Chain A
């Protein structure tokens, strides 16, 4: 008993049609959720009345529930909801739109926390120094705080993107014709599921590593000012696991930070 390599080569060729679909979902979700996540982070940091607790609830819900539940809610409930407004045509919408919605909503929550923690890592002294050279708080925020926060957010944005790429593999549940869906259909004819999924796996590894490499260049470019004597080399083992810390219960105080500091003292 051995793997059917001919079949694998065949799947490899046909499934490539799903790669643009996956990338499209990832890109759309990222582009839409980055600015919204940033605004949500500001809402949380400046404790905007009414909105701030709502954002917090939203982030907590998205973080606390499985993606599959979110997909099922949007995919099965949204069309009938839409149908009450625009009639039956709601059911003939291209399913990729649902994928856009689900993954964008999901990423917004992750990125809100990414930006929030990044803005909080910038030392308060930076703001004070800006004020003391006569700049207005807003000028200091835009010219000093923001650039530093964005750079410190980059590793977590990389992680969030990686999660997004991996999560997008569930798009097939919404009948989107992505890599997994194509491979699955092919396998169903001959029952070569193992071969098909191995191919899909390879595709995801390639996409994930490519994304990681891309972000590594971005990080390197934008963190010029942090570079001291030792240049950061590419993390070939691709492993920082600085997960987007979406700690919801422990937002007011950061016990880990305190503990780490204790440990260093």
Chain B
């Protein structure tokens, strides 16, 4: 069989495990996004201790390798829960641990992306909203937040792709995701066709990454059209 045919064959074999990757990624994006938003709030807080907590947290996460985070959560969380609540969670689905680790990892860059995007929205936007009679909350939801989101999009896409790639370490704690599947295929072939198998694996991730980029640039250009229509 030619290399291309082999890659196609392995691709079909690996592909079903994509749902593990997608579930983990989507869950982590949602939870990490929420945690990131909370951190942004803390970073913009007027109380220095909130800012300090957020900064220390973010700084530590930023220096932590993904694999170490996954291991520490996987071994450390059951230890903590047992110590505090005397409940054993070692039997949990291992995907939960990955989602928690990725949530922690994702929240830090997201917090910083949200913060800089929020600060990039001119104060005049909020002031104008208040001056037409909106409440601060309305001004935030209707005026500031949508603009923040648009500014944050490109960096958010970057962070999401990073998350997707870090999620590929899921296999290290024994979840059968696409990487694990690929390793099994190679093992079944006694180590043969490794290039074709892992090539197929890389190809799948590459396509997902490109799709995320494409999606974000589509969303962005649709926002830009709106803006252009408003401007003379």
Q: Which residues of A contact B (CB under 8 A)?
A: 1-2, 60-61, 63-70, 72-73, 76-77, 80-81, 162, 165-167, 169-170, 180, 193-194, 197-198, 200-201, 204-205, 208-209, 212, 236-241, 243, 245-250, 255-256, 258-260, 262-264
Contact = CB atoms under 8 A, between A and B. Distances in A.
Contacts of B75: 193-194, 197
The 7 A-B pairs of least Cβ separation, nearest first, read A64-B209, A66-B168, A237-B55, A77-B195, A208-B63, A249-B213, A76-B194
A208 B60 CA distance: 10
A202 B217 CA distance: 39
Contact of B59 (A1, A166, A239, A256): A239
A72 B198 contact: yes
B205 A246 contact: no
Interface residues of B, number: 71
A154 B217 CA distance: 27
B224 A69 contact: no
30 contacts: A64-B206, A64-B208, A66-B164, A66-B167, A66-B169, A67-B168, A68-B179, A69-B201, A69-B205, A72-B198, A73-B199, A73-B202, A166-B63, A169-B65, A193-B75, A197-B75, A201-B68, A204-B68, A212-B63, A239-B55, A241-B109, A241-B113, A243-B162, A245-B154, A249-B213, A250-B220, A255-B217, A259-B151, A259-B224, A263-B120
B202 A70 contact: yes
Contact of A249 (B79, B112, B194, B217): B217
B168 A1 contact: no
Contact of A166 (B65, B71, B121): B65
B72 A76 contact: no
A255 B222 CA distance: 11
Given A237-B55, A255-B221, A67 B165 contact: yes
Interface in B148-185: 150-151, 153-155, 157-159, 161-162, 164-169, 171, 179, 182-183
A237 B60 contact: no
B136 interface: no
Nearest to A244: B158
Nearest to B122: A263
A177 to B, nearest CB: 16
B155 A243 contact: yes
Contact of B210 (A68, A162, A249, A258): A249
A241 B112 contact: yes
A69 B227 CA distance: 40
A250 B62 contact: no
A73 B186 CA distance: 11
A247 B213 contact: yes
Contacts of A260: 120, 151
Interface of B: 55-56, 58-60, 62-68, 71-72, 75-76, 79, 82-83, 108-109, 112-113, 116, 120-122, 125, 147, 150-151, 153-155, 157-159, 161-162, 164-169, 171, 179, 182-183, 186, 191, 194-195, 198-199, 201-202, 205-206, 208-210, 213-214, 216-217, 220-221, 223-224, 227
Contacts of A69: 168, 179, 198, 201-202, 205
Given A72-B201, A80-B194, A209-B63, A243 B210 contact: no
Contacts of A73: 194-195, 198-199, 202
A86 to B, nearest CB: 18
Contacts of A2: 83
Contacts of A198: 72, 76
Contact of B68 (A77, A200, A250): A200
B173 to A, nearest CB: 10
A119 B216 CA distance: 25
A238 B62 contact: yes
Nearest to A73: B198
Given A1-B83, A66-B168, A256 B64 contact: no
B154 A162 contact: no
A107 to B, nearest CB: 15
Contact of A180 (B68, B195, B199): B68
Contacts of A264: 122
Contacts of A194: 72, 75-76, 79
Given A250-B220, A259-B223, 13 more contacts: A60-B206, A63-B161, A64-B209, A66-B165, A73-B198, A194-B76, A197-B75, A205-B63, A241-B109, A243-B109, A245-B158, A249-B214, A259-B220
